[in-house]
Amino acid sequence: MPDSRRHDDTVTPGDAGRGAWKSKLGFILAASGSAIGLGNLVFFASNAYQFGGGAFYFPYLIALFVLGLPVMVLEFATGTMTRRSLPMALRRLVGARGEYVGWWSLSSALFITMYYITILGWALCMMVGALGGLFAPGATAPFTPFESPSEGPNATAYFFGLIVTYWPLLAVVTVWAATVWALSRGTETIERVVRVCVPLMWLFMIVLIIRGVTLPGGVDGVLFLFTPAVDGILDVSVWKGAFSQMFFSLSLGLGTMTAYASYLPKNADHVNNSLLVSFMNCGFEYLAGIAIFAMLFAFSLNPVGGTLSLSFFVIPQGIAAFPFWVKAFGFMFFLLVVLAGLTSAISLVEGMTSALVDKLRVSRAKALAMVATPGVIGSVMTALPFVVDPDLGGNGTFGLNLLDILDHWAFGYSLLTVGFLECLLLGWVLGASRLRAAINEHSKFQLGAWFDVQIKFVVPALLLTVIVLNLWTDLSNAFSGAAYGATYPLAWANWLPTVVPVVWLGGTLIVAYVFTNRPTPDEPEGVAVATKF
């Protein structure tokens, strides 16, 4: 394989052995595999449903062009220009402040990875359960894979039966093991995994969509998803939801896209890559939406409850009503969730791993161990089966409560805040026009001056508005005594809604401080390097 870096005159000591994608296809598969994940299958449909179907897709499409695409171009360019993952990439471009933002982003990514993998672990259990008791009549607690209880199928009971057992712990450890294996040889093993998983995901999605829209009444669901609703478009919360969902879905703000782009040759076309990855992601998302809404309408299902309910309870219920091949379709649906989630988890962990390799100059194995050790502990904690509320208030178990609160804070603030800071630093400190000139050098589609306006003003203003609105809601709840989270019969569990955000915010700020202040031997210093591209 020719190494495109050999001929480059800006090679620095830390570049050696970082790895490189074998081909552009490898990169596109990996980046789209990162983008397509639980966000597309689990969260998009429930957001779209919650915000009224047709009311959601219009703001979502706007969010793609106004926010998603420019930030993706920015994150790709940052990685390729510096051949570094987010913290060191930002350090080279804008100095130590940038590195601080990078580590803060990655330490938040660690928290998000913890529960992301737990949800994947549950999906893995449901996948195994699909062959066993999930679609058997009367699937209820306790969870016993391959055993058939006696009454009508009930995925909700099955899921709550599942999470009060220790099986999910085994599942999360399995998912972590698979993730670590996939990263063991960097780009080489990642490429091997995505070459199999990503095409399979598309295939399963196509099968599901055909099944969905050919169900009697299925087309009504598709119409619901695509009929514009004017009231919703005027609702601020719909826009807030669309912006957050877009960031998460495109894997922005958590250092993953920068890490993946750092393995590209210097002449990569970032505009073209961003268009490809984001259109594949949003295309997949709409296809998933069509399949899921077709099923909802065909079987008159009503998704009530949290975000997980749609894919974990309602879809299996729909599949159980299929006239044939119920187990096969159920298995395939959860296998699809597992594959999509796995390729995203791999990218999340790679963002952190490569950052540690870049900063500490440690081996990949050591960096992986540094990420996976706290990661597995966190995933196990969010999968813990202890019941804190037998009435399922706040979802019942310790693990699910922890997950819910962590998701609210880590997910609710980190991605958008990082996006906001990236735009400020790159747009103002480095200079949007300078960055644009560097991107345009290798891009067929030339970005105009509008790109500068977008990066310097539009994107930060929109993101800041969403962050402030979210903060306003959370703070006014906190001051009125209603902290985020449920009230549990067990007194100690009531500390969770306070302890979790403090641990997350305190922990991430400390990690960012410690890493930023640690010198990296032979790394060229900060802003000066930026003049070279």
The C-alpha angle 517, 523, 527, rounded to 5 degrees, equals 80
105 binds ligand PHE (CB under 6 A): no
Size of the site for ligand PHE (CB under 6 A): 14
* CA distance readout (Å), 279 to 39, 63, 200, 286: 15, 13, 18, 10
CB of 247 to ligand PHE, least distance (A): 8
| Contact in structure between 124 and 341 (CB atoms under 8 Å) | no
List for the chain the helix, strand, coil content (%; round to 5).
Answer: 75, 0, 25
47 binds ligand PHE (CB under 6 A): no
CB of 363 to ligand PHE, least distance (A): 24
Nearer to ligand PHE, 80 or 256 (CB): 256
Nearer to ligand PHE, 133 or 289 (CB): 289
For residue 158, give both structure tokens. 């099955």
CB of 109 to ligand PHE, least distance (A): 7
The region of 37-45, 168-176, 287-295, 402-410 touching ligand PHE under the rule CB under 6 A is 37-45
Q: How far is CA 377 from the centre of its chain?
A: 19
User: Burial level of 410, CB count in 10 A (0-12/13-18/19+)?
Assistant: buried
CB of 480 to ligand PHE, least distance (A): 32
309 binds ligand PHE (CB under 6 A): no
Nearer to ligand PHE, 29 or 320 (CB): 29
List 20, 28, 29, 38, residue binding ligand PHE (CB under 6 A): 38
Nearer to ligand PHE, 332 or 352 (CB): 352
118 binds ligand PHE (CB under 6 A): no
List 35, 126, 164, 215, residue binding ligand PHE (CB under 6 A): 35
Site for ligand PHE in 328-347 (CB under 6 A): 344, 347
Nearest to 486 by CA among 306, 364, 354, 347: 306
Nearer to ligand PHE, 246 or 423 (CB): 246
Residue type, 170: L
Nearer to ligand PHE, 259 or 435 (CB): 259
Site for ligand PHE in 194-253 (CB under 6 A): 248-249, 251
Nearer to ligand PHE, 43 or 100 (CB): 43
In sign, the C-alpha dihedral spanning 54, 55, 60, 65 is positive
List 14, 26, 33, 37, residue binding ligand PHE (CB under 6 A): 37
| Contact in structure between 283 and 35 (CB atoms under 8 Å) | no
Draw the binding track, 5-34, toward ligand PHE (x: CB under 6 A; -: no contact): -----------------------------x
The dihedrals phi and psi of 387, each to the nearest 5 degrees, come to: -85, 120
40 binds ligand PHE (CB under 6 A): yes
CB of 248 to ligand PHE, least distance (A): 5
SS3 88: helix
The C-alpha angle 332, 312, 247, rounded to 5 degrees, equals 95
For residue 77, give the H/E element and its range.
Answer: helix 69-82
First to last CA, the chain: 25
CB of 457 to ligand PHE, least distance (A): 25
Nearer to ligand PHE, 38 or 381 (CB): 38
For residue 271, give both structure tokens. 């505009």
CB of 44 to ligand PHE, least distance (A): 8
d(CA 310, CA 37): 15
Q: Which residues contact 453 (CB under 8 A, 6 or more apart)?
A: none
| Contact in structure between 56 and 242 (CB atoms under 8 Å) | yes
Sites of contact with ligand PHE (CB under 6 A)? 34-35, 37-40, 248-249, 251, 254, 256, 344, 347-348
